[in-house]
A and B are shown apart, each in its own frame.
Chain A
Amino acid sequence: MGNADLRELAALSTVSLDDVRGSVVAVDAHNWLYRYLTTTVRWTRDEVYTTADGEEVANLVGLVQGLPRFFEHDITPVFVFDGGVTELKDDEIESRREQKRKAKEKLEEALERGDKIEAARLESQTQRLTTVIQETSRELLDLLDVPYIEAPAEGEAQAAYMARRGDADYVGSEDYDTLLFGAPLTLRGLTSKGDPELMDLDATLEAHGITWEQLVDVGILCGTDFNPGVKGIGPKTALSAVKEHGDLWGVLDARGLHVEFADRIRDLFLDPPVTDEYEYDADIDPDVAAAREYVVDAWEVDPDEVARGFERIEESLVQTGLDRWT
C-alpha cells in the first residue's frame, strides 16, 4: 500500500502516454491487478466473471481491459509479481486481512439491509489475490506474450531495481514507496483513464536537498509498509528533522525515540532482496484467439465484457507506427 504522506514530498508532473511511447515499464503486478479488481468488481455484475463453480476471475477482465492502454502506445509492460512475503510486512498483511474480514462482515450486513451501493463498495474491499487469480493472470499473460517476472520478495523493489539498472524506463505503480525503493521514474495512474503522473526521484531529492538514504529515513519516520511510523511526525516534520540531524539515528537520538527493526527496514528499501535472473522479450506477439478462448471458454467470462478489449488489442497489433521507419 505504501504511505500516501510521501505525496507531499514527491516531485510529480503530468505526462501523456504519447510522451512515454516505445518505453518499457516494469509494472508492480499486484498493485496494478488490485486496482483493476477493485474497480472491475465495483462497477460490474459479478455474474460476468464468476464461473459455474463460483470461482471469481475478475482479474481476466482487468487484464483484457487494461493491457490495450500499453499496446496502443507501443509501451512494453513487464509485470513483476511479488515473491515471498517479507517477514516484517507480516503485521501489515495481518492488519489488512483484519480490515478485509471486517469489510466482509459489514458487507453481509449491507446485503441484508438491501443497500446495494454500500454492498458494492464493501465488496471491492474484500477482494484479494486468490491462488486462481495468481495463476490465471500468469497464464493469460503467457498467451498474450506479455513478459512477467517473479520477484524474490517485493515486486516493487524488483521493479525499482530493474529501472535503476536501466532494464526498464519506468516503474508502474500507484505506491509512493517506489521512491523509497529507489525507482528513478515512476508512472502513477496507468490503470485510470486520464494522463499518468510521473514521479521523479532525482527531482524529489534535489527539491529537498536530501539523499536517497535520507528520504528512506523520512519515510520510516512517517511510516511504511514495514513499520507504523512515529506518532505525531508527518512528512514535513520528518524532512526537517532528518535534515537537521543527518539521518534516522540522529533524529531518534535527539527525540529519545525508538523504531523497532529500524536498521532492517532501512535495508529493505536500500538493499532489498532482488534478483538479476530476469530476461524478457520486449517483442510482444500475442495469440489473441487463444487468449479469447481461454478467457471466454475456459473461464466462462461474459464475451461482451471482454469483446472491446480484445478488439483494441488486435487493432493495436495490426497498425504500425511511423517510428518503425525512423
Chain B
Amino acid sequence: MFKAIVSASTLRDALDSVSVLVDECKIRLNEDELAIRAVDPANVGMVDLALDAAAFESYEADGGVIGVNLSRLEDIAGMANAGDLVHLELDEETRKLHIRIDGLSYTLALIDPDSIRQEPDIPDLDLPATIVLEGNQLDRGIKAADMVSDHIALRVDEDEEAFFIEAEGDTDDVDLELGRDDLIDLAAGPANSLFSLDYLKDMNKAIPGDAEVTVELGEEFPVKLHYEIAEGMGQVTYMLAPRIQSD
C-alpha cells in the first residue's frame, strides 16, 4: 500500500539527486520515509536518499518496494508547476503508479525491482576532515576546474585551515581557496583526494545553490557530500570513489 501527496518541487529535488547517477532505481516505501539507494553501473558514485513522511502533505506506506524508470517519472513531475501538489497512488494489482497533477492523470508502468541492480552496501568510511560550505561555492570551484581538466582535487590544509578545490590541466591550472571565514564550518584533518569531474559535475547539478553542503574528505578516500532537501525533511548523501593520484 502506498498513497502520498507531495509538492512538485520536493519530488523533483528528490528525483534529480538520483537520476544524475542511474536511469532506474528501487524506491523503498517504508512506513516513516521514502528511501532510495543506488550506485552507478561503474560502481564509482552512490546516492543515499531519505525523504521523511513529514516532507509529504500526506503519506501512507507499509514497506513495499517499487522499481521505476527515473526519466519517465521526472518527465511527469516536470508537468507540474512549482506550487502544484502531486498525488501518488500505487495499484498493487496492476503494479502501476497512478499520478495526478492538477487534473492531469498519468498511469506509470513500474519495473520489476528484481531486474534492477542490487542496492549497494554503504561504504564504511571514517573521514578525518569535514567542510561545510554553500552549494554555490562548490559549484564555482567545479565550474572553474571543468575549464581546465577532467579531474579535480579536493584538499584541506590543516595549518592554513583552508579548503582547496584544485585542477591541473595540460596547460592551465585552477585553484580555489576557501578559508575558515569563507566556509560555514571546517573540521580540519589530513585530506587530499582526486575525483573524476564527470561524476562530481553530475552530482553538483542536483545540489541546490543555497543548500548547505557537508563535505567529508580523507586521503585517497571516497568523498561524502551531504545536503538536505524539503526544508530539512529530506537527506541526500553522495559518495564518490577517488582516482588514484599519479606522482
Contacts and interface: CB of A to CB of B under 8 A. Distances in A.
B124 A325 contact: yes
A18 B243 CA distance: 19
Nearest to B151: A318
B162 interface: no
A317 to B, nearest CB: 7
Interface stretch (B12-20, B36-44, B207-215): B36-44
Given A18-B41, A72-B42, A320 B120 contact: no
B124 A320 contact: no
B161 to A, nearest CB: 27
Contacts of B42: 72, 319, 321
Contacts of A326: 120-124
Interface in B101-157: 117, 120-125
A193 interface: no
Interface in A268-324: 317-324
A320 B240 CA distance: 9
B234 interface: no
Interface string A50-79: 000000000000000000000010100000
Interface string B211-247: 0000000000110000000000000000101111010
B46 interface: yes
A21 interface: yes
Contact of A21 (B43, B221, B242, B246): B43
Given A18-B41, A18-B117, A72-B42, A320 B242 contact: yes
B243 A320 contact: yes
B244 A318 contact: yes
Nearest to B199: A319
A21 B117 CA distance: 12
> For chain A, which range describes its interface: under 10, 10 to 19, 20 to 34, or 35 or more residues?
10 to 19
B115 to A, nearest CB: 11
A320 B244 contact: yes
B196 interface: yes
Nearest to B244: A318
Nearest to A72: B42
Nearest to A323: B43
Contacts of A324: 241
Contacts of A325: 123-125, 221-222, 241
Contact of A319 (B44, B124, B221): B44
B243 A322 contact: no
A78 B69 CA distance: 37
B196 A319 contact: yes
A322 B39 contact: yes
Greatest chain B CB density within 10 A among A21, A320, A324, A326 is at A320
B241 A319 contact: yes
A322 B123 CA distance: 7
A321 B46 CA distance: 10
Contacts of B221: 325
Contacts of B241: 319-322, 324-325
A322 B244 contact: no
A321 B244 contact: no
Closest 5 CB pairs of A and B: A325-B123, A321-B43, A326-B121, A320-B241, A318-B243
Interface of B: 39, 41-46, 117, 120-125, 196, 221-222, 239, 241-244, 246
13 contacts: A18-B43, A18-B117, A21-B43, A317-B244, A318-B243, A321-B44, A322-B39, A322-B44, A323-B43, A323-B120, A325-B123, A326-B120, A326-B121
Given A319-B241, A320-B244, 6 more contacts: A74-B43, A322-B43, A322-B222, A323-B43, A325-B241, A326-B120
